[in-house]
Amino acid sequence: MFSRRPVLVEIVTAAVLIAVPFVLPALDAAPNTVNRILVWGLFGIGFDILFGYTGLLSFGQSAFYGTGGFVAAYLLTRAGFPYVVLALVIGMVAAAAVGYLIGLLALRRTGIYFAMITVAIAEIFFFVEFNPLSEWTGGENGLPGVPTPRFDLGFATLNFSSGWSLYPFLAFCFFVGIVIALRIVRSPVGVILTAIRENPLRAAAVGHNVQAYKLTAFVIAAAYAGFAGGLLGVLQGFMPPDAFMFETSGQLIMQTAIGGRGTLFGPLVGAGVWLFLQDFLQATLKLGAAWKLVLGLVFVLLVCFLRQGIIGGIRDLIALSRGKVQAPAEPAQEAAPVAAAPVAPMASRHAAGEGRQGPILQATGLTKRYGGVVANEGIDFTVQHGELRGIIGPNGAGKTTFFKMLTCEVPPSSGSIVFEGRDITGMSIIDVCQLGLTKSYQVNQLFNRLTVRENLTIAALAELRGKFKLDLFGRLANIAGLEEQVEHTLQLVNLGARTDTPVSQLAYGEKRRLEIGLALASSPSLLLLDEPLAGMSPRERVETVRLLKSIAQGRTMIVIDHDMDALFELAERITVLQEGRVLVEGTPDEIKGNALVQDAYLGGVHEEELA
Amino acid sequence: MLTWSNFLSQLFNGLAQGALLALISSGLTIIYGTLGVLNLAHGAMFMLGGYAGYLAFQATGSFVIAVIAGALFMLVVGVVMERVVIRHFYARPHEDQLLVTFGLSIVFVELVRFFFSSDSKTVPAPAALSGITSLGVMFYPTYRLAVVGIVAVALLVLFIVLYKTRLGMIVRAGIEDAVMVDSLGIDVYRVFMVVFGIGAMAAGFAGIVNAPVVSLSPDMGEAILVQTFVVVVIGGVGSFPGAVIGGLIAGEIISLTSMVNPGYAYVMLFAAMTLVLLVRPRGLFGARGRE
Amino acid sequence: MQDRKSGSFIDGRRRFIRTGIGVAGGLALPAGFVSEAVAADQPPIGTWPAGVSGNSVFIGISVPRTGTYAVQGEDELKGYQLAIEHINAGHPLIKQISPKTTKGVLGKELKYGVADSAAKPNDAIQAQQRFITENKAIMITGGTSSAVAVALNKLAQREKVLFVCGISGSNDTTGKDCVRYGVRQNFYGETAANAIGPALLKAYGKNKKAAFMTPDYTYGHTVTKSVNDFLTKNGGWQMVTNQVSPLGAPDFSSYLTNIANSGAEFLINVNWGHDAVLSTQQAKQFGLLPKMKLVIPYQIPFLAREVGAETTEGVFAATDFWWTLQDRYPLAKMFVEEFEKKYSYKPEWGAENAYMEFALWAEAVEHAGTFYPPDVIKSYESPRKLNSVVGEVQWRSADHQLIRPVVIVKGKAPKDMKNKEDYWEVVEVVPGAGLMQKPDAFGCNLGSYT
């Protein structure tokens, strides 16, 4: 993702595009086919950003392809608009606007339901194009007579008509499209999109406005689709209604998967394979209509075995030949012993710092009911600034639910929460994180296919940029303080040796540390830790406790755990929950000797207790 | 045109269409509910069942054998598909599952097109059920009436299997919580295989039963697939009663809209689905939390 | 608008070639893009002279081989293939239509390529674009859908390659969507309506109620309009409902239910291809036929064979050709015999249409003495009488529509059929001239020659 030679891709692309008209005719390639490949490739760039990078599988791209295409075609034919490129841009803007509106609707659901809504959208648009709007769109006929662009430069006239003469224009459009897409993908927004793909829950929990970013990706995809649709009309001299058909969306998806998703060039490669095979199988092998069967089989095989498509396969081959093993390895055992040099505490950026007094968090009457089950009942809970509070309780006591309410991951059934003097009841988890309250999870919620550094960057970005910022063309390097914050967090959780390792290859203990690191990177003033020691070996526990002590400086922490020895060592005060209510609160010593607590854990048998 | 007689006629039409949709959607919903896989090849299975029945009919001349052959063939196809392909995708993200079933649907359609060409094939209705029946308000093809009856019986059989047998109980438990079923020591993968087979069989059975009504063509599955989505969404994922009620509702939406303007019928259906997805995503009978 | 655009198009292209420089600078243009020997007075246009430089010329044919119109497309293709075979051999039948033909066209052999359009304009355009750029097709043809015809009209005008329209029933093809580079042979909505209208009124009388079934695209809408206009203006008939269905609809029950409840006495089915077969079969299943009388204003090849003679008995239809015309026209007899000899069945009008227009194209080129497109077009436009399988015909220069008769047929009862293809009885052959609209009535504006 973070390419060390960012301009290389652009240069190679330009070189290839320029070479094509010299090389391909010798190979008997039809110029029209090459032009079509370019148009599909451009259409697919936007889709790849939506699907490959953000993980949203939409079957409705044909709706925007058609919208852009028909708006442009209408302007150029019926309305007699003379400027081709400007019409294309207007078509693109129209498609993006429609994409925005549709996105507001469709993105309210995720996964399969999202996919189903997009299918419905595609079908509805096709119908609308055909019937009610047939005055404008020509219905089944489409809009014939779309002109090709010509530019009057004074000293020469550039007329791009068809075949190889239209190629330079299309190649240029594609090049511009890919350059823009590369910038977007390398920008902070691009990084956040991949985070959303990997773990949308966590992306929100570290403070990013996931909905807004998804909508951004959706609109970008719609814009690319709209421009490509306009180009289709120009290419054929005719804007066909099939642009709106569901099959168009399906073909785009298949081409992207065949070429390789998440690569930006995947759709281009996929289109090349598709169109080449279509010609080759029909003309040379005389297979007739069976070419689509072959393509279907190729597609299924690729989905099964080459998850990253052809480009991914090539990448793996290259890496394999270089001797690096690319397949997810066994998570490495922890290499060096954890020698935590004391690291200076990271200043928490939020309003609270050292020196503030009084309660940082006050929960009153917090209750949560799930149907008839009461998970938490009437909890009153206050934590002072700078405190290290522990929470213990037997299973089913409602500890995790309590944390979820505090971070506003779930809304309470009744009660209120005041953080830093502000009532945060009913806020979203995104806003709460931005205010400085966040938690690390009991079950790791990491961005699995990204590296350690990338994980931390995502969390830090939310802190430095706020919950939503549309810096599509920004550079990560230009974000002040990002590098330091990530480095600092790496040091704090002692993962400096593993910065460029993908999460899937980390050992369990390292993953737990990263989990804490993610929460830390948001610079919270109040950090909640849900069973940070879960599943750890004794040695790892010792290290983690040391880590927790070091990060406790300068911030307030609340820790849930079952390891009472560790908690008693760490915490200044302990709250005990049982069956959704606060049982008792006190210092570790008070809690140790409390009969009620022993009852709660052991079920009433006190005689067996050992010191 | 909005007249009483037209209204009643279209109401009845909707019942006929809805019954078919109900059967096909039951298959899709139990697959999705149990396995968590949205089978985009379901429409293709509907089509394949029809063609299998067609072949059997060509060979034997008996409609009954054709129906049995179609259903059994799809049972086998479903089981094989689950074992060979779907099984390897349970751990993979939803999108990959969608992609592979989508790809398989294309393969199925093109296979049929390759062997049978795109021309439509007809399977005539059995002589006993052909002809026209007068229903007072209108004339209705006897066979379409019979389809309602046949589908009702099939749904009843499915109901008995799901609710009155041990297998059915396991399947319904699997729909609730497959992990739990696994923990109880029941081979949950075998359950998945059976469920996929049953779902495919329901679609295939519908395919051959419907053949005398609309004649077979390789592309007939695509339209059905999208309508089945709508039914599953309206009725609620994983719910058998939801599929039945949803199917009937969908059938009525199509036919009653046709009274005014048949062109808008399918758009109304999609609009209804989008509305449900936005307002009450779990549908009429679905369990909350499956969004 | 079209004039100016295409004119400046070519200007720019000439300049483009002359300067010999593309945007990329020094782009070595692949062979074929730059023309060979450029005649001093006739600069290259379209695929001329590149496509005629050898001893054969290429024809691009796109027909639906899959989809709703597949059966009719295959029939049409056979007509093309027979015509090409005859032209290449210099067959006597061709010589009757195109007297100057010796062997091939202007001595050059005809080669051709076939692509499947599936009745989709987009697929047809893709295929024909390839035929033009790869194979230098000197003429493109084919299609059964008017949507395809309109799209190919525009392509032809843009690429400056003659398009000889396949089957197209819409008024628009030589109406508002006409082009200088397109010609059409067959009958269409307006002529069908004006031919069958009087026959219907004579047979059934005035003031009847009719339900229309219309496929939702240009062909359907224009034919329904023409037929309805005639019947309402001249016979006081009333359209009680118009059920518009999408191309390829599998189930017509909703539409048929509406029709059943409309009080119609006549079912005028404008659907075509497989849609016509299905809708008619289902109309029967729903008891609408034979209670209502069926009318097919634009006949479909093989309809009678697929729905059965019991259903087409007594049904009036308007068509381009029926094989029993062999008793009236000697050329028809020759054509039917030759076709049956080669393919073992009697030709329907799709094949006849293909053969006719091909033969007429050969005639136009021979008459012009050159393949140079503007001259061929002017040859089409020069008023002269031509021979055909339906007697004497003539091209109308104002819109490139052939003036030719429309054949009214009526379905025979099964017991009256003398052989298993004897489905229709020719009732009347209506001369074309009186059936056509005024040349500019539909907004035809032919474009430029170059």
Task: Tell me, yes or no, whether A16 lies in a domain.
Answer: no
Residues sharing a CB contact under 8 Å with residue B283, sequence separation 6 or more, in sequence order: B232, B233, B234, B235, B236, B237, B239, B242, B246, B276
For residue range A302-326, list pLDDT tens digits in order: 889 888 889 988 988 888 888 755 4
Q: Are residues C86 and C153 in the same domain?
A: yes
Interchain CB distance below 8 Å, A299 and B103: yes
Q: How far apart are CA A447 and CA B232, in angstroms?
A: 32
Model pLDDT, residue C292: 92
Look-up of token digits 């037209």: B6
pLDDT at res. B244: 93
Residue C9 located in a structural domain: no
Are C43 and C94 contained in the same domain?
yes
Quote the domain boundaries for residue A56.
Answer: 39-168+207-321
- Is the per-residue pLDDT at A216 higher than 80? yes
Neighbours of chain C (3+ CB pairs under 8 A): A, B
Q: What is the pLDDT of residues A172-189, one digit of tens each?
A: 999 999 999 999 999 999
Contacts of C158 in chain A (CB under 8 A): 145, 162, 237
Residue B270 is nearest to which of A123, A131, A293, comparing CB atoms?
A123
A55–chain B Cβ distance below 8 A for any pair: yes
Q: C338 phi and psi, to 5 degrees? A: -60, -45
Give yes or no: residues C225 and C310 share one domain.
yes
DSSP string, A441-474: -SS----TTSBHHHHHHHHHHHHHH-S----TT-
Q: Is the same domain home to C42 and C180?
A: yes
Q: Which of B3, B113, B214 sits opposite C251 (nearest CB)?
A: B214
Q: Identify any residues that bridge with B130 across adjacent strands, giving them in sequence order.
A: none
Q: A398: which 2 tokens?
A: 């409602």
Nearest C-alpha of chain B: how many angstroms from A118? 9
How far apart, in whole angstroms, are the C-alpha atoms of residue B205 and residue A36? 41
User: Cα separation of A541 and A544, whole Å?
Assistant: 5
- Distance, in Å, from the CA atom of C428 to the CA atom of C327, rounded to the nearest integer, reads 13
Could you tell me if residue B284 is inside a domain? no
CATH of the domain at C117: 3.40.50.2300
Q: How many angstroms separate the CA atoms of A586 and A574, rounded? A: 6
Which pLDDT does position C70 carry in this prediction? 82
Same structural domain for residues A311 and A413? no
| CA atoms of C302 and C287, how far apart (whole Å) | 23
pLDDT at residue C10, as a whole number: 37
Partner residue opposite C258 with nearest CB, options B1, B144, B213: B1
Summarize the confidence of residues B73-98 as an average pLDDT.
89
Distance, in Å, from the CA atom of A131 to the CA atom of A94, rounded to the nearest integer, reads 20
- Say whether pLDDT at A341 is over 50: no
pLDDT at site A5:
62
Count the domains in chain C.
2
Positive or negative torsion for Cα A171, A173, A179, A184: negative
The reply to whether A112 and A234 lie within a common domain is: yes
Q: A332 pLDDT band (50/70/90 cuts)?
A: very low
This model of the complex carries an ipTM of 0.86
Q: Which helix (H) or strand (E) holds C394?
A: strand C391-396
Interchain contact, A109 vs B114, CB within 8 Å:
no
For A483-504, the DSSP string reads: HHHHHHHHHHTT-GGGTTSBGG
Q: What is residue B191's predicted lDDT score, i.e. its pLDDT?
A: 84
C217 vs A144: CB contact, 8 Å cut-off?
A: no
Q: Hey, is the C-beta of B222 within 8 angstroms of any chain A C-beta? A: yes
Residues 227-256 of B with CB under 8 A from C: 254-255
Cβ contacts from A onto C, under 8 A? 123
Whether C287 sits inside 8 A of B132 (CB atoms) is yes
Asked if B114's CB is within 8 angstroms of A293's CB, the reply is yes
Measured between CB atoms, does C238 come within 8 Å of chain B?
Answer: no
Q: Provide the pLDDT for residue A604.
A: 52
Domain end, chosen from A298, A321, A344, is at: A321
The answer to whether C65 contacts A289, with C-beta atoms less than 8 Å apart, is: yes
Name the average pLDDT for chain A. 84
B79 at the C interface (CB within 8 A)?
no
Residue B269 · residue B220 · CB < 8 Å:
no
Residue in A24, A135, A140, A148 to test binding to C, most C beta-carbons within 10 Å = A140
The residue among B182 and B28 whose pLDDT is bigger is B28
Question: What pLDDT does C343 receive?
Answer: 92
Contact C261 B143 (CB under 8 A): no
Tell whether A212 is covered by a domain. yes
Residues of chain B with Cβ-Cβ distance to C260 below 8 Å are 9, 138-139
Domain end call among A321, A344, A371: A321
Q: Subunits with at least 3 CB pairs below 8 A relative to chain B?
A: A, C
Judgement on whether residues C127 and C109 belong to the same structural domain of the protein: yes
State the total domains in chain B. Answer: 1
pLDDT value for B290: 46
Same domain, C298 and C218: yes
pLDDT of residue B163: 85
A-facing residues of B in 28-67 (CB < 8 A) are: 32, 38
Whether B258 and B265 have beta carbons less than 8 Å apart is answered as yes
pLDDT at C211: 94
Interface contact flag, C286 B214, Cβ < 8 Å: no
* Residue C69 backbone dihedrals phi, psi, to 5 degrees: -105, 20
User: Which structural domain range is residue C419 located in?
Assistant: 190-319+406-435
> Given this model, what pLDDT does residue A235 score?
87
Which pLDDT score, from 0 to 100, does residue A245 have? 84
- For residue C155, list chain A residues with Cβ-Cβ distance below 8 A: 144, 236-238
Are the beta carbons of A21 and C30 separated by less than 8 Å? yes
Q: Are strands C209-215 and C162-165 parallel, antiparallel or unpaired?
A: unpaired
Dist. CA A62–CA B187, nearest whole Å: 42
Residue C182: CB atoms within 10 A of its CB come to 29
- For residues A131 and B266, what is the distance between their CA atoms, to the nearest angstrom? 13
Q: What pLDDT score was predicted for residue C163?
A: 95
Chunked into runs of 10 residues, chain C (450 residues) has average pLDDT values of 37 39 36 38 83 90 84 90 92 89 90 85 85 89 88 89 92 89 92 92 93 89 92 93 84 87 92 90 86 92 88 92 92 93 92 92 92 92 90 90 93 90 92 87 84
C298 in the same domain as C339: no
User: Domain check: are A407 and A317 in the same one?
Assistant: no
Q: What is the pLDDT of residues A390-399, one digit of tens each?
A: 998 888 788 8
Q: Which two tokens stand for residue A434?
A: 């931005």
C347: closest CA among C362, C332, C329?
C332
Judge: B99–A57 Cβ closer than 8 Å, yes or no: yes
Q: Are residues C429 and C296 in the same domain?
A: yes
Angle CA C326–C330–C333, to nearest 5: 40
User: Is residue A501 domain-resident?
Assistant: no
Arithmetic mean of pLDDT, B46-58: 93
CA torsion A293-A297-A303-A309 (nearest 10°) is -80
Q: Is C345 exposed, middle or buried (0-12, 13-18, 19+ CB in 10 A)?
A: middle
| Residues A388, A310 share a domain | no
Residue B286 inside a domain? The answer is no
Q: What share of chain A is helix, strand, coil (3-state, %, to 5)?
A: 55, 10, 30
Q: What is the CATH number of the domain that holds A418?
A: 3.40.50.300
Going by C-beta distance under 8 Å and a sequence separation of 6 or more, which residues neighbour residue A382? A359, A361, A362, A363
Computed on alpha carbons and rounded to an integer, the radius of gyration of chain C in Å comes to 22
Residue A219 lies in a domain: yes
Q: What are A146-155's pLDDT values in tens digits?
A: 888 877 666 6
CB–CB contact C151 A144 (8 Å): yes
CA pair distance B85, B91, nearest whole angstrom:
12
Q: Is B267 on the interface with A (CB under 8 A)?
A: yes
Looking at the structure, tell me whether residues C220 and C154 fall in a common domain.
no
> Are the CB atoms for C235 and C193 separated by under 8 Å?
no
Q: What is the pLDDT of residues A422-473, one digit of tens each?
A: 899 989 999 999 999 999 998 999 999 899 999 999 999 988 888 888 888 8
Q: Count how many domains chain A has.
A: 2
Q: Could you give the CA distance from residue A224 to residue A228 in angstroms, rounded to a whole number? A: 6
Chains in touch with A (≥3 Cβ pairs < 8 A): B, C
Structure tokens at C172: 């628009």
Mark whether C71 and C128 lie in a shared domain.
yes
